[in-house]
């Protein structure tokens, strides 16, 4: 066993890479990236969102989010429009093609859940809770002023 196999940080990194690789394979027929898929999931479940809110939820800066949204718009899955009340705000919403894609990709969450190897929803929720705690704790270390 290598020393990195005993490090929590490496286990998190390795699990994250494996999960992202699985999503990459599952999303390949639609030429979607994992982060593009996440944008679609948010819009499917929450509806129209300002670009700023999408960036906050996904923890992405505008330099990363804008090209990602442009590619989704080029594929005609989303549309970006300036808000009628405040032209500084750009809202993102699904097109009919983006809404239809939800049915095409409906199998993915179950495949990913199965791929985790977790025995049940209780174990999945416990892992999710632990990962949220790790994220919050690490964010405090990397941003001690907040």
* Every domain of the chain and the residues it spans: 8-109
Flag whether pLDDT at 125 surpasses 70: yes
Share of the chain above pLDDT 90, in %: 86
Q: What are phi and psi of 144, to 5 degrees?
A: -65, -20
Flag whether pLDDT at 146 surpasses 60: no
Which class is domain 8-109?
mainly alpha
pLDDT at 145: 67
The answer to whether the CB of 124 falls within 8 A of the CB of 113 is yes
Question: Tokens 């982060």 label which residue?
Answer: 35
pTM: 0.88
- pLDDT confidence band for 130 (50 / 70 / 90): very high
């Amino acid at each position: 066993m290598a020393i990195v196999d005993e490090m929590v940080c490496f286990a998190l990194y390795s699990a994250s890479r494996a999960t992202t690789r699985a999503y990459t394979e599952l999303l390949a027929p639609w030429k979607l990236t994992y982060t593009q898929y996440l944008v679609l999931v948010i819009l499917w479940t929450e509806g129209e969102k300002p670009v700023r809110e999408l960036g906050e939820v996904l923890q992405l800066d505008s330099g990363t989010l804008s090209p990602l949204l442009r590619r989704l718009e080029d594929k005609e899955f989303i549309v970006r429009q300036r808000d009628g009340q405040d032209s500084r705000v750009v809202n993102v919403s699904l097109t009919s093609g983006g809404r239809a894609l939800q049915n095409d990709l409906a199998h993915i969450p179950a495949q990913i859940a199965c791929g985790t190897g977790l025995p049940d929803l209780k174990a999945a929720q416990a892992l999710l809770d632990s990962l949220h705690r790790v994220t919050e704790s690490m964010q405090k270390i990397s941003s001690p002023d907040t």
